[in-house]
Every structure is written in structure tokens, then in C-alpha cells.
């Protein structure tokens, strides 16, 4: 699939189809679409006859239009003129793609950039449209099954009416394609079955990044032997019941323009390639979805791909904390007390609260990089999904500026997050009679007490925690990884690098 930005007269565009927006009440502005009067009159005849009313997503495909070189024009409804927003723009693009694909159309041109979209300039219009296109085109694949080709598109172009916006448009397209490559990679990794995607597999995928981006990315692994020497006992304990031993992948990205004084940003992704709950075993219903417990690691992996494609002038260290939580003769138990890499002790009350045990040792490990910012991303608690559902990821932070920066990136991308509190009242829930902390609270505010647990190991950092338990994948008929929050993290890094 190839993407282009074009600035030309639409009637001179020789393509298979041009997509044009029509508002409700038959509002069609010829001037905004750069068509000559005869073409406008021809299209208006169909609108006046009521063949299309302009409701969002409604479509009408026209053939043999006089005085233009394009084979077809697709009219697509955009709803009320004053209500067009980015959500509706995504819906409009999706409906357009459905129609075009039915007719095996190969080359298309979108002429929607000039529409008055609320809080959305040329840059964000293109980002929104590319996101919608890639979301539509992504298909889950079946293992060892050849899929019949059902997508015929070869090229997609976006029409820019004024040359002064060409630079912005090209930047937007570059950013969108890089970020969507990361989102797609995260989805593919997240959707793999746990008998293929185990901790070692995560490392091998990370290693491929160092081969593809030799001058930008270096990848090393920390295996169980080295974890033992480092004292990462909590991390090791989680994987002790599984034949698939823990592997931690360290992905270091260095931008070409990086200087010593620049920030070091660490992204930590929880990579539980399968979580049975261990001795505190989960119910069998929907346990298959616990293959998605590594979506935090998948998001970090995808974000590093986007960063490398964009060559951002930053130092970014991505950690894929690969592990598998299984019951077995060697598995850790409720009642065990573990000494973490930091030296702090943890009483295990529930082996299904394992992600925080992996992350607490990684939060201590990354101290060696002298990070300025640390963000961990984890499918950490079902409690967060209960609190926020599937639309918002939970945000926790010990730093106001970092929280505000992430919230800004969220607003820009519509990858939604909601900040939840961190305070000493909740820390008391983790009190233990036998260790420094217990690994779970008393049953209330589970997402918050989990974040409070992690905060005990991140006091030296400017730190944020994203709980993506409700947003990392979808269940039911359309089950699959979402690729969130790759776009949010990528935008945060774009903002940090002032790369516009």
C-alpha cells in the first residue's frame, strides 16, 4: 500500500475514484473541492434528486462523470456541517473504504482535508484518516492458513488544496505511517498464541529490531541466570512454575542528534505471555484471553518501531519484561516472602497479582540508566477495567508535569487516559505483618493499590504508570489486540523531541 499527498486540480486527477464529502441539507461546496462548474452541476443533480442526503457514512458511487479524468466519484455523507469531528471523520473514511473495497478499486484520492473539522487542522485530519484506513485494513491472521486476498487497494492519496499546507501534510503522513507501523506490529505480537509467543520469542522479535535499525537500536537480553545474579527474585518467582523461563529484553534507541544532556526516557512493558494466575489460578472462562497479558510489552515494542522510523532525536530505552505465570511444583505460593532487587520484601497473598512483582524488579533495574522519565505500561488490574471500562486507560504518576504531558498526548491522539490518585491512604492497604508490603490490598481500589505498590520502587524517578487492562484488547466477536497505547506514547515522544 502506497500513500501520497497531492496538490492539483481534481478534474485533472487520473485515478480510479475521488472521495468527496457531502453535508446534510445537500450542502456541497464546489469551490472547496476545486471542481469546475460543470462537474459541480452534474453532482448537484444527484444531490437534489435525493439520491444522497448527507447523513454520516451514507455513500453514492458515480460513474462516467463528464469533464474529469477520474473513473468514479464517491460521495460520502458527513452529517451536519457544524458537527464534523475527528470521530465522525474516522467513521466517514471507514464507510468509504468498505464501499471501495467491494468494487476492487485500486487507486483512490480523498478530498476531505478542506472540510471544517472541529479542533482538527490539516496535520490531524491526515493523521485521523490514515489511522482509520489502517484500522480498517488490519486483519487478524490465522496460523498456518493462507488468507485469500480481499484488499485490492494499491495507492491512497490525500488532496491538499493549498500549497502552503504541503509541508505540514507530508509531515503528518510521515508521522501517521510510522506510528501505524508500530500499532500494527503491537497488534500482531499481541494476537499471537502463547505457545508461539513466549518470553524467548519476545526477545527474538526485539533482536530483529537491532538488525533492521543497526545504526539506531541495540538489543540485549537478561536471562534467568543474570536475573539471579542481580537479585531479581520477585521477577524470577513469577516464572518459576513455567518451563518457559523469564527473558527480559532491553532495547536501546539512540537518535542521531542525541547529546549527553538530553533526557533518557525509559518505557517498561509488562510481558506476561500467559497468565494462568499461578497457584491462585484464574477461572477457566476466558482464560484464553490471558495471552494478551503481554500487551504492555507489545506496546513498547511497537512504540520503538515508530521512534526508529521517525529517527527521533531522543534516547529511549524499551524494556520487554517477558515472563509466564503457571502453576507447578516450583511455582511460588501465597504466603511466600520475596526479597526484591531493591532489598524490600513482599509477602505474597495472591499469585495472580504477579505483574507488579515483575515490574518492581524492572523499576529497580532501570536505575542504571539514570533515567529522567520512566513510564511503565501494563495490563495490571481487572479493577482498572471495572473502573474505566474499555475506553480509558488508567494513569498514575508522581509528577504533575509528566501527567499533564501524557494527558496532552491523549487529547491530541484521542487515545484516552484518566488520571487516578496516588496517596498514603491507599498505601496502608498494602501493610504486611511479615514483610515491607503485601502484593495485594484488602480488596478495594485494586488499580490504585497496585499503582501504590509500584510507586514504592519508583520514588527516585519522574514516573508514570499506565494500566491498560481494559483497553489493550477487545473480547467477543471482534476479539483482538488494539495496539493501544502506541499512538499515545509515540505522540508523547514526538512532543518531547519537538519533532514537527
Active site residues: 282, 356
Residues 6+ apart with CB under 8 A from 45: none
Cβ 322 vs Cβ 200: under 8 Å: yes
- The cell for 34 is 476545486
CA 271 to chain centre: 15
Nearest by Cα to 350 from 458, 247, 450: 450
Return d(Cα 296, Cα 177) in angstroms, integer: 21
Cβ atoms 16, 109 nearer than 8 A: no
How far apart (Å, rounded) are the C-alpha atoms in residues 486 and 469? 14
Rounded-to-10 torsion of CA 4, 8, 9, 14 = -40
The rounded Cα 188 to chain-centroid distance in angstroms is 12
Question: Among candidates 215, 219, 306, which has minimal Cα distance to 255?
Answer: 215
Amino acid at each position: 500500500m502506497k500513500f501520497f499527498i497531492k496538490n492539483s486540480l481534481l478534474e485533472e486527477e487520473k485515478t480510479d475514484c475521488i472521495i468527496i464529502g457531502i453535508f446534510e441539507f445537500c450542502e456541497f461546496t464546489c469551490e472547496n473541492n476545486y471542481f469546475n462548474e460543470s462537474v459541480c452541476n452534474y453532482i448537484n443533480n444527484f444531490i437534489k434528486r435525493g439520491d444522497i442526503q448527507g447523513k454520516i457514512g451514507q455513500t453514492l458511487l458515480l460513474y462516467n462523470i463528464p469533464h474529469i479524468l477520474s473513473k468514479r466519484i464517491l460521495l460520502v455523507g458527513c452529517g451536519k456541517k457544524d458537527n464534523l469531528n475527528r470521530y465522525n471523520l474516522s467513521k466517514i473514511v471507514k464507510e468509504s473504504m468498505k464501499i471501495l473495497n467491494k468494487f476492487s478499486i485500486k487507486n483512490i484520492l480523498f478530498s476531505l482535508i478542506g472540510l471544517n473539522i472541529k479542533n482538527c487542522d490539516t496535520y490531524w485530519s491526515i493523521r485521523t484518516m490514515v489511522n482509520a484506513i489502517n484500522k480498517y485494513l488490519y486483519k487478524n491472521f490465522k496460523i498456518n492458513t493462507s488468507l485469500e486476498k480481499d484488499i485490492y487497494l494499491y495507492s491512497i492519496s490525500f488532496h491538499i488544496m493549498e500549497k502552503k499546507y504541503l509541508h505540514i501534510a507530508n509531515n503528518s503522513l510521515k508521522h501517521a505511517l510510522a506510528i501505524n507501523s508500530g500499532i500494527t506490529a503491537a497488534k500482531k505480537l499481541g494476537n499471537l498464541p502463547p505457545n508461539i509467543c513466549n518470553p524467548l520469542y519476545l526477545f527474538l522479535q526485539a533482536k530483529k529490531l537491532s538488525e533492521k535499525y543497526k545504526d539506531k537500536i541495540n538489543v540485549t537480553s537478561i536471562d534467568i541466570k543474570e536475573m539471579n545474579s542481580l537479585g531479581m527474585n520477585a521477577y524470577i518467582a513469577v516464572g518459576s512454575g513455567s518451563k518457559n523461563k523469564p527473558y527480559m529484553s532491553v532495547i536501546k534507541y539512540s537518535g542521531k542528534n542525541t547529546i549527553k544532556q538530553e533526557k533518557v526516557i525509559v518505557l517498561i512493558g509488562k510481558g506476561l505471555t500467559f497468565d494462568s494466575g499461578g497457584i491462585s489460578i484464574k477461572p477457566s472462562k476466558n482464560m484464553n484471553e490471558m495471552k494478551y497479558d503481554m500487551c504492555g510489552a507489545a506496546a513498547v515494542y511497537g512504540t520503538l518501531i515508530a521512534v526508529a522510523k521517525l529517527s527521533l532525536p531522543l534516547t529511549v530505552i524499551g524494556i520487554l519484561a517477558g515472563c509466564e505465570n503457571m502453576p507447578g511444583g516450583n511455582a511460588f505460593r501465597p504466603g511466600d516472602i520475596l526479597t526484591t532487587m531493591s532489598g524490600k520484601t513482599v509477602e505474597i497473598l495472591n499469585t495472580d497479582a504477579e505483574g507488579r512483582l515483575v515490574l518492581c524488579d524492572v523499576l529497580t533495574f532501570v536505575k542504571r540508566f539514570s533515567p529522567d522519565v520512566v513510564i511503565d505500561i501494563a495490563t495490571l488490574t481487572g479493577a482498572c477495567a471495572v473502573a474505566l471500562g474499555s475506553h480509558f486507560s488508567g494513569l498514575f504518576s508522581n509528577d504533575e508535569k509528566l501527567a499533564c504531558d501524557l494527558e496532552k498526548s491523549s487529547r491530541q491522539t484521542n487515545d484516552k487516559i484518566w488520571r487516578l490518585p496516588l496517596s498514603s491512604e491507599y498505601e496502608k492497604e498494602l501493610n504486611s505483618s511479615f514483610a515491607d508490603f503485601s502484593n495485594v490490598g484488602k480488596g478495594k481500589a485494586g488499580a490504585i493499590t497496585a499503582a501504590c505498590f509500584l510507586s514504592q520502587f519508583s520514588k527516585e524517578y519522574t514516573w508514570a504508570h499506565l494500566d491498560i487492562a481494559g483497553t489493550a484488547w477487545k473480547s467477543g466477536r471482534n476479539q483482538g489486540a488494539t495496539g493501544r497505547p502506541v499512538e499515545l506514547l509515540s505522540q508523547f515522544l514526538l512532543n518531547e523531541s519537538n519533532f514537527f
